Amino acid sequence: MPSRCHFAQPVRDFLTYLRVEAGLASATLDAYGRDLRDLVDELKAKRIAGPQRVTPAHLIEHVRALHRRRSLQPSSIARHLATIRVFFRFLKANGAIEEDPTRLLETPTRWKRLPGVLSPQQMRKLLNAPAPELGRLWLRDRAMLELMYAAGLRASEVGVLAIRDYNPTLGVLVVTGKGGKQRIVPVGKPAQDVVQIYLDELRPALTRFGDDRDRGRLLLSHTGRPLERVAVWQIVRRAAGRAGLRNVHPHMLRHSFATHLLAGGADLRVVQELLGHSDISTTQIYTHVDRSRLREVVRKHHPRP
């Protein structure tokens, strides 16, 4: 196929193949044709001469444009991707191109929403938000926030922490996660110091009722009962509001814990163990978060982003 044919002839050949040899229905052919017109129009606007000039970067940008400018759902984008993949595989099989540029494209079924992450500066503001002028429970709130960030705790893991789960001598927590799976997580000195003050000065007062309503839990409500999940959310949101932060939720502390560790050079397998993930692919999303932050820095500060 001569290089001067650009896109028109390859597209016609491909649609003819689908109609004659693959026997696709007219409605399906129309959908393939629309998808390819969208792609070709964008490539022509970028002065891409023909299929042999198309790179993976061009296709990745096209998919991003479908999502960004047209707000297409993943299912619609998946169809576009299927069309593009089959088109370029057809061209490669027929010798029109040497490399298949679709090899780096991911399907929308593998896309994951990147978790919100606080910067280290924002995290310091959040941790410092509970203060004595807010009443005696400020110590519990500060201890809770410190532990969540220091150990990457889920909201569901906070309330079930028992006093016996915390070993101040070793500086570790035994955390019971999903499915009753336990993990041991080291706790840094800032969190240890606050937790110790809470245990010495406040928790005894919260257990003044003399019964077993505390059930041996580490963090208690003002009535001496274990913290429920809704209370964890309320404490986080209250602290975030005081720190001037918006849209902060408990899981964001866990996200920040993981992202800050990786940004500091921690091994991915170590972070997987600390988070209690059974599958490394679940932990890998945090590497994407860190890379996205690097891209933001480059775009903002590099003279030629």
Q: What's the token pair of residue 290?
A: 């860190």
Start-to-end CA distance of the chain, whole Å, equals 37
Q: Tokens at residue 208, please?
A: 């003044």
- In three-state form (DSSP H/G/I as H, E/B as E, the rest C), the secondary structure along 83-141 is HHHHHHHHHHHCCCCCCCHHHHCCCHHHCCCCCCCCCHHHHHHHHHCCCHHHCCCHHHH
Residue 198 is among the residues annotated as catalytic for this protein: no
* Among 6, 140, 251, 255, the one annotated catalytic: 251
Q: Give the CB-side neighbour count of residue 127, counting CA atoms within 13 A.
A: 20
203 catalytically annotated: no
Q: What is the DSSP letter of 50?
A: S
Marked catalytic residue, from 32, 149, 166, 286: 286
Q: Is 178 a catalytic residue?
A: yes
Within its chain, how far is the Cα of 27 from the centroid? 37
- From the list 62, 80, 142, 154, the catalytic residue is 154
Q: Is 154 a catalytic residue?
A: yes
- Catalytic residue of the set 112, 178, 291, 295: 178
Q: Which residues of 217-250 are buried (b: 16+ CB within 10 A; e: fewer)?
A: bbbbbeebbbbeeebbeebbbebbeebebeebeb
Angstrom distance (rounded) from CA 190 to CA 266? 19
Would you say 48 and 58 are in contact if contact means Cβ atoms under 8 Å apart?
yes
Catalytic residue among 80, 254, 255, 260: 254
Q: Sheet holding 172-176: strands in order across? A: 166-167, 172-176, 182-186
Known catalytic residues are 154, 178, 251, 254, 277, 286
